[in-house]
Structures are given as C-alpha cells and as structure tokens.
Amino acid sequence: MPPVLIIAFFKSWMYYIKRENFNKLEWVLLEIYPPSNLGNSPKIAEAIFSGLWAVVGTGSVKFDKYWKGQYPDYYSLELVGIDGVIHFFIRTQRKYRNVVEANIYAQYSAAEIKEVPDYVDEAVPAEAPSATWDLWGTVLRLSADQSYPIRTYQSFVDITSGAEETPQFLDPLSSLMEVLNKLKPGERVVIQILIRPVGDTWKEESQKVVDDLIGKPTAKKAGGVLVQELAGWANASRAVAHHTLTGEQLEFKEDQKNSAELPSKMLYLTPGQRDSVLAIENKLSKKAYETKIQFVYLARKDVYAGPTVSSVMGVFNQFSTLNLNGLRPNKLYTTTSRYLFAVQRAIFKKRTMVKLLRGRAFWEKGYILNIEELASLWHFPTSMVKAPATPKVLSKKGEPPVSLPIE
C-alpha cells in the first residue's frame, strides 16, 4: 500500500475514534457567580488552576489513544457576553464537577455555582453566518516560542503610587467588562480558553532556551569505550616521554581547562535579556496547561459593530510584550480572506469557527501557559471593576445553627 494511503487511513481512523469517544463524554456547564468582595488581585484564581491541575495524566495510555480514541481530559474556561449580560462559565466532564466546585469554594466560600443549559444552543446559531447573523472569529496563538511567558497580572500595577502605599492593581479585564456590558440585544462575545494539564516534560525545552540565553556551556559527549581507552594510552605515552626527556612528572590539567569554559554570558546580558531569563525561569517554577484560546464576536446584522472586535483584541494586546511573548490571531482560522475566492473562503472559515465554538473540541496540541498566565487571562473581576452587568452574589451565606433539629 502506498505511504500516502497509509497516512490518509491513519488520520481518518484517528479522527473517527476521537469523534466516537468525544460523543460519549458527559459534559456539564457550570456558571459561577462570584461574591462581591473579591479583593484586588487575581492571585486566588491562580490557586484555583493549581487545584484543577490534579487531573493531569488522564488518558495517557497509548492503547487507549490509538484504539479507543481517548485523549487527556481538559476544561473550558469561558467568559461570555450576551445582550449586555456577563457570564463566567467552566465546562467540564461531569466526573470532575466536584473537583471544580471544591476548588472554587475553597477560594470563594460565598460564591454560587449552578449547572446551566449550554448557552451555545440559543446564543450561537449553528447556521451562522446567514441572512440574519454575521460574525468575526479567530483562534489565538503565541507570537513567540512558548518558553517565553505573556505579560501577567504581576505587571499590571500602578507604579505612580508612592513608596509608602501598596501598589494599586490595574485589572487588565476591566476594559473587557465594559465592552461586554455595552453589548446591545442581539450581540454576543464568546471567549473560550481550553486548558489541558501537562506534566513537566515541556520544561526541558524551556531550560534549553535559558541555557542558550546565558551561554551556559553544554556538556561534551564522551566517546565510546574504545575511544576512551585509546585516549588513556595516548596520555600515558605522553607522560612517559615527558618524564624521560625532562625528568619531570607531566600533569594533565583537564579540570582547569574545564573551569576556563565555565564563565557564561550572564555578566554581559542586556537588561532586556536578563528580564527574559528571569521571566522564563518564573514560568518554569509553576504548574502549566496546554492551552487553546478561541474568540468569536457574533451579532445580528442590524446591530453588528466591527469596532467591538477591535476592542476585544485590544484587551488581548495588553498581555503582549516586545521582549517576551503575546497573543495574536492565527491566520489559518481568522474569518477574513483576500485574493482568490475571498468571499467563499471567509464563509467557510466563519462556519468552522462556529463549529469550534459549539463543539469545544481540543484534540490538537496546544501551547503552554502556566497558572499565573491563565489567572491573568481568566479571573473574576476585582473590586475595582464597577461594570453593573458583572454577576456577583450580593447576599452573604450563613451556616445553620448547631442545635437546629433535623427530622
């Protein structure tokens, strides 16, 4: 059988078994209503993602992958604006519902979590684009190697505050809350962040990037047994000849030679390079997820507003830095086309994005974001965000008295 047919059969088989396995999974959509007193930092969201990471390693057996179509389990973090109302969702398999709720309640004891019907059934028409609906969407990718982190919430502080004051956190999602709050009836903004916990294997490549930046000498590979034996005989012969001619003992200074190679470029790094090394090492120090981010603006044609797309993309641009990393649209998915058959290709891309949005499949390999980066992108609005449509629990829960009679 020709190799081309073998490859085509293998890809078709993998798609078929993954689709079959995916259709058997039982998903739930949880809407989270955070308490009103959220503090002024997304640090708590980082703790939530650290707890959700516990499902790492599921579906990793090769037999299950290539015969049953199983793949590592994942979550979907969703921030949605529908007709000017803001929603925070987490989509997970039902077997992990308790894991999700436990980690959220552990950080926000006054929060409310409800299982709700999937909003895509009504808010995201399957037939879009159509005579009534239009949309713009994309899948975001990293602008640089995944070893480099995006800008995180640690950088969003007001440096103009006095030294005696605690630096004020400037929530990067505050502008997004305003955009979602101002959506008109018939407008939707959907941001889905699909995350799959990963182990530490990704850190090897990132450590190589650090070693390259600082000029760390790489260990020279030793030869085989025969090569080492011949080198030993050669050194012995040199020592005998040197002693015969000079009467002095020949000393091999391999340790000094190796020590001369140890100094690296660390002393000569520019401030930007030094910041890059520190940022990568900080990313290496925390748990991480494979990630896929997809964004769609969908609206009826009579209220469709192109600037809304620019406003949301401007929010993502806040997480970009010139010397580290950032988020940018993937041209393969972005719903705009030029040149040959531009209209037809744009329609095809739009329908593809609608399918991705409704299905939330995450079979491909994603890029690495650690829990600090994820907490920067998806967290409940801090106390400084005053958007009226931001959902919050206004009443405080209380525990029943200990002596309460129970039948």
Of 76-90, 176-190, 228-242, 351-365, the poorest mean pLDDT is in: 228-242
Q: What is the CATH number of domain 26-207+269-377?
A: 3.40.462
Amino acid, single-letter form, for residue 209: V
pTM: 0.83
Q: Hey, what are 148's tokens?
A: 């480099």
Query: Which DSSP category does 129 fall into?
Result: S
What number is the average pLDDT over the span 250-275?
65
Residue 58's φ and ψ, nearest 5 degrees, are -75, 140
CA separation for the pair 18, 23 (Å, rounded): 9
Q: What is the pLDDT of residues 22-54, one digit of tens each?
A: 778 899 999 999 887 777 788 899 999 999 998
Task: Flag whether pLDDT at 322 surpasses 50.
Answer: yes
What Cα–Cα distance (Å) separates residue 87 from each residue in 2, 14, 375? 51, 35, 17
Taking only the tens place, the pLDDT of each residue in 148-180 is: 999 999 988 866 655 556 667 888 999 999 999
Residue 264 pLDDT class (50, 70, 90 cuts): low
How far is residue 236 from each of residues 245, 248, 257, 360, measured CA to CA in Å?
14, 14, 19, 67
Distances (CA, A) of 145 to 112, 149, 181, 278, 372: 38, 9, 34, 16, 17
Relative orientation angle of helices 271-284 and 203-214, to the nearest 10 degrees:
160
Task: Measure the CA angle with vertex 253, ends 268 and 248; round to 5°.
Answer: 145
Q: Quick one: which H or E segment has residue 238?
A: helix 225-246
- The pair of structure tokens assigned to 242 is 């040197």
Residue 81: other Cβ atoms inside 10 A: 25
Output the pLDDT for position 260: 47
Dist CA 188 CA 82 (whole Å): 5
